[in-house]
Every structure is written in C-alpha cells, then in structure tokens.
Structure 1
Amino acid sequence: MMRKWMVGCVCMCLVWLSATILTGFMQRNEDATAEHRLTQLWKLSESMQAKPSHFVVKLNGEQKFTGHQSLQVQVTAWSKVLLGGIKSEVKTKDGKIVVSANWQANGMNVHWMAVEREGNKFFWVYQIDANRVSDDTQAVMNLYTEVQTTQATFVRQLHEMGLTYNWNGTVQGEKKRQELGTAQQTVEQLRQKIAKTMKLTPMENYTDGGTYSESYSAPELGQGIVSGTHTLHLQMAVHQISGTDQERVSIGLPLITTEY
C-alpha cells in the first residue's frame, strides 16, 4: 500500500513539475531560490525531535533544443558543459534518449539525468542524496553544510547557462517511539510545533499500518503543488520501524519524494 501511495505521490509531483517547468524558480524572487528553500527545510527539521540523518534535494527543469544536429548530439554536448569532466552514459529507452551520470561530491551521492521529450525537449533532474555519518551534533551541521555547498555549485552552473529550475527537498531523521504512541500522534505533535510559526491547514492524509502522512496548505512556504482543487506546500510523515522502538520522521517541501 505504501509503495502504491508513493507511486501516486511521484506521479503528482511530475504533473507539478510539468506545469511549472517553463517558468521555473530562478530569477523569480529571492524566496524561491534553492538556497532559501533549503534553509526553510532545515528550519522545519528543528521541529522533528530527531537529528536529521538524510537529505534528498532535487533540482529539475526542461531544455529545448533547436538546429540541425541530432538531439543526442546536442544533449550530450550540453551535459558535458553542465557536468564538466564527469562521464555520462547515453542510452535509448522506449525510443527516447536518456543521458545519465552518477558521482560523489563531498561524500554524497549525486545523480544527474536528462530524458528526451516531445518537441525537441529534454527533461533533466539533478539529485543530491546525503546521509549523516555519525550521531554527534557537528556531523548534523556538516550534513547540512555539504548539501548546501554541493547545491550552490550546481545552481551557479545553471545561472551561467541561463537555465531555470524547480526545487524539491526531503529531510529525514529517526527517534525513539513514544510508548504506545502512534505514527499519527507523532505527526500531530509535529504539526502543532510548526503551526506556532505559520498557518498549516491539513488537506490530505494517508495511513497504512505503522505509517501516517499529512499534506498541508501553507502559503507562507511559497511554491506549492496543485492537487485536485487545492495547493499543497508541505508534507510530513512518520513510519514506525517494524521490530524496533524507533520511528522515522520525514518532512518534504512541497512533497516527500523518497520512500519513508
């Protein structure tokens, strides 16, 4: 059930990306920059009652190519400019060109991919996947700083190429489960904490055994995703880890796009 829900979540996210991709975040306003959004996510993580242990940050956009060269030649050349000396792999899947690259930066896993679309376009996504290496407080700060630094490098490249982007981020941490407490109770407590600094309106929820998720309207957070007749700006979820006394807390802006 949880995987089915996550598939639906990802599909909804892709619809949002397609709807906003032509305008993007870059140059729109200061509150929409990747730096600002990452800072928002970091501040929200302070309410988790758990040290952040995992960050997933995604920047994505769409690029249109023109001219007489083949799309494969163009996107390969474009990816070399964007990735520098990092080797990329070119494949054809279902008749569409896919260019991808994987590497490590500051101890984090980084993934880049461009996928051919109709109309001489490519959809691209850049993902930072970072895990905390130890439990001490300095390691938590290092985790955030490393994500921030790696993100800034890529955003600078995007600016230099005149490319716009959309941003999505998820932070996760694990904490000891309250005795007899449920995942829903933990989410409710988290909502109450965050609601002290901004207005949160619950719009959607999902439950599956030891997992509970809520999505909210919170215009103060800026860019959101349209779902049905409303807009979502924030998602929070708690998953009670089977066979342990631990639970995993996840916060996503505007959605959680990694399994929790």
Structure 2
Amino acid sequence: MQNRKLWKIGLLILICAMLLVGLQRLKETGREAIAPGPIDAAEQQLAALYSMGQAVTPDPFQLTLKWQGEWSSLLAPEEAAGVLASRLGLPVPEAGTVQGRVVYEAKGQIEGFPAELELTTLEEGKHYAMLRMEAVGDEAAALERLQEAQRMAGESLADEGVQAEWNAAVQGVAWPAAAAVGKTASGKRKLDVTFDKLETKINQLPKLKLKQAEEFADELTASRTYSVDALPIAVQSGGHRVALQLAVHRNSGTGMDEITIGTPLLTVEY
C-alpha cells in the first residue's frame, strides 16, 4: 500500500515536470514566432529613433540610415556595382579611389530621399556594399515615406544576396548652453546635466527605458551606450547587448549642445 502511494506521488511529480518543460518550450517557440525579421526590425527601430529626435530637439533634425554588408558574387566589381545601382533605381556608378581601394559610387534618390551607394571589392568573389540614405525629420508623414524607402532598399539588397545590416543616427541641437565648461554649484559637470536632461526626455517615451552600459567623456564631449529591451537590433559591446548610443558635444562657439543619437551604435561623426 505504501509502495503504491509512493509510486503515485512519483508519477505526479514526473507529470508536473513534463508540463513545466512543455510550457517553457511553448514560451520559447512563441518568442521566436513573434521576433521581427531584419526588415521589420529596422522599420520598428527607425520609428523609435525618429521619436527620440522629436523629443530632444525643437528644430528639424538630420537623419542618416545605412544598409551595409558583404556580398558574395562572381560579377566583376564594375558590373556588380551596376547591378545593385540598377536594382535600387540609382544612376550608373562611377569609379573612384579611397585609401588605395577602388570604390564604385552611385548617387541619386530613393523615393525622394538622397541616397548614395558604394561598393568595394574585398577579395575575388566578395564585395562590400553600403547604401546611405538621408532625411530631415520634421513631420510624421516624412517617417512613413522614409520607412517605405528603407524597406524597399533593404528588400532589394537582400534579394540580390547582400548580407546587409542596418544602423541609423539622428543629429540635431537642443537647448542653448549657459556655459561651455565648468560645474554646477553642487559640483556636477554642466555637460552631465545636459546629458541627464536628454536621458529623461527619452525615458519618458513609451517602452524606451535606457540601461546604461558604458560611457566616455572629455571636457566638451560625452557619450553613453545603453541596453534597451524594446529595440530589436543590438550588438555586443564590452560584455553588454547594446542598442543605443547617445553623444553630446558642447559647441563653445555657438553656445549650443549638439546631440547625436545612434542605433545600435554611432557610425557617424559627432
């Protein structure tokens, strides 16, 4: 009798354990099913970046986005560049030299936005393509048009086999600086005060909670890198999964704080 009771208890424990394992696998499958693909993720991240630009600067801001990555192709460099340019609706590329490498470049517009394609050969059968697009952020309609242009460009590159990754940045100016350098009465650097205001404005946006991972600062410039759970495109940096980098440069000549926001990391000058 006692053995039968112990056997029933053991069977019940086994069933509970199997149910827990099944539920965990179901959750993991669900997460995988709803994870956005590269094109959708870039569209989502662009919308978040756009909202940050609107939150931190009162003036229209400059927005730059890139699709870039390696492309395995047996086409000759000139022909390869021509294929990509044609697919993107850009003019015939022209050859130039950058740091001793031949670079094919095509400049034009994609859906009304300035666009620049560059293609460099890394080795025989392997090229590196970079598509750069620019826009001025001033209204919601501009974001929708830019998202459509970005999607078209990303899908076109992917269809040709380019292993393109996405990144983007916003550049603008915020509130005037009362002083170029120095500290507040409490001893805090004025540049850090500006940065704290910037973080507060972004943290007030829906779902965008910044978790600082790294930082750098000198007399007139500061940069901080963050993990942001709501942003799907991220990279590993210093043992952290980061998706956003902010930089503030205090222009002592104009008395303005110049702000740059990059995702997942900054790839433009600041």
Q: Which residue of 2 aligns with 1:71?
A: 76
Instruction: State the shift of 1:227 in Å.
Output: 2.0
Instruction: State the shift of 1:49 in Å.
Output: 4.3
CA separation in 1, counterparts of 2:98 and 2:172?
36
Q: Which residue of 1 aligns with 2:108?
A: 103
Q: Which amino acid aligns with 1:174?
A: V
Which structure 2 residues correspond to residues 190-205 of structure 1 after superposition, within 5 A? 190-196=198-204, 197-205=207-215
CA separation in 2, counterparts of 1:247 and 1:165?
33
Q: Is the alpha carbon distance of 1:164 and 1:148 closer, same or farther for their aligned partners in structure 2, counting shifts above 3 Å?
A: same
Instruction: State the shift of 1:116 in Å.
Output: 0.8
Matched, 1:234 2:244: yes
Gaps of 5+ in 1: 1-27, 133-138
SS of match in other structure, 2:253: coil
CA separation in 1, counterparts of 2:172 and 2:71?
35
Q: Is the alpha carbon distance of 1:208 and 1:140 closer, same or farther for their aligned partners in structure 2, counting shifts above 3 Å?
A: farther
Which stretch of structure 1 is more off in the superposition, 41-50 or 142-151? 142-151
Q: Which amino acid aligns with 2:49?
A: L
Query: CA deviation digits over 1:101-145, x for unaligned, max 9?
Result: 11245664321111111352111110012346xxxxxx4445434
Query: CA deviation digits over 1:19-38, x for unaligned, max 9?
Result: xxxxxxxxx94264222221
SS of match in other structure, 1:222: coil
Which structure 2 residues correspond to residues 110-259 of structure 1 after superposition, within 5 A? 110-118=115-123, 120-131=125-136, 139-141=138-140, 143-161=142-160, 163-180=162-179, 182-196=190-204, 197-259=207-269
What is the aligned-residue RMSD (CA, Å)? 3.0
Are the aligned partners of 2:103 and 2:118 in contact in 1 as well (CA < 8 Å)? yes
CA separation in 1, counterparts of 2:55 and 2:85?
40
Instruction: State the shift of 1:238 in Å.
Output: 1.4
Are the aligned partners of 2:71 and 2:161 in contact in 1 as well (CA < 8 Å)? no
Are the aligned partners of 2:177 and 2:257 in contact in 1 as well (CA < 8 Å)? no
Instruction: State the shift of 1:48 in Å.
Output: 1.0
CA separation in 2, counterparts of 1:245 and 1:119?
50
SS of match in other structure, 1:165: strand
Instruction: State the shift of 1:96 in Å.
Output: 4.7
% identity of equivalent residues: 27
CA separation in 2, counterparts of 1:225 and 1:58?
16
Matched, 1:30 2:32: no
SS of match in other structure, 1:215: strand
Are the aligned partners of 2:90 and 2:107 in contact in 1 as well (CA < 8 Å)? no
Q: Which amino acid aligns with 1:57?
A: L
Q: Which amino acid aligns with 1:47?
A: A
CA separation in 2, counterparts of 1:29 and 1:159?
18
How many pairs were matched up?
A: 225
Q: Whose RCO is larger (CA < 8 A, sep 6+)? A: 1
Q: Which amino acid aligns with 2:224?
A: E
Larger Rg, first or second structure (1 or 2)? 2
Candidates 39, 48, 53, aligned match of 1:40: 48
The TM-score normalised by the length of structure 1 is 0.73
Q: Is the alpha carbon distance of 1:155 and 1:72 closer, same or farther for their aligned partners in structure 2, counting shifts above 3 Å?
A: closer
SS of match in other structure, 2:152: helix
Q: Which amino acid aligns with 2:156?
A: Q
Q: Is the alpha carbon distance of 1:89 and 1:49 closer, same or farther for their aligned partners in structure 2, counting shifts above 3 Å?
A: closer
Instruction: State the shift of 1:72 in Å.
Output: 2.6
The TM-score normalised by the length of structure 2 is 0.70
Q: Is the alpha carbon distance of 1:200 and 1:83 closer, same or farther for their aligned partners in structure 2, counting shifts above 3 Å?
A: closer
Which stretch of structure 1 is more off in the superposition, 192-201 or 225-234? 192-201
Which stretch of structure 1 is more off in the superposition, 76-85 or 237-246? 76-85
CA separation in 1, counterparts of 2:268 and 2:202?
22
Which stretch of structure 1 is more off in the superposition, 36-45 or 92-101? 92-101
Query: CA deviation digits over 1:44-88, x for unaligned, max 9?
Result: 22431433410010111221024xxx6335414423432445120
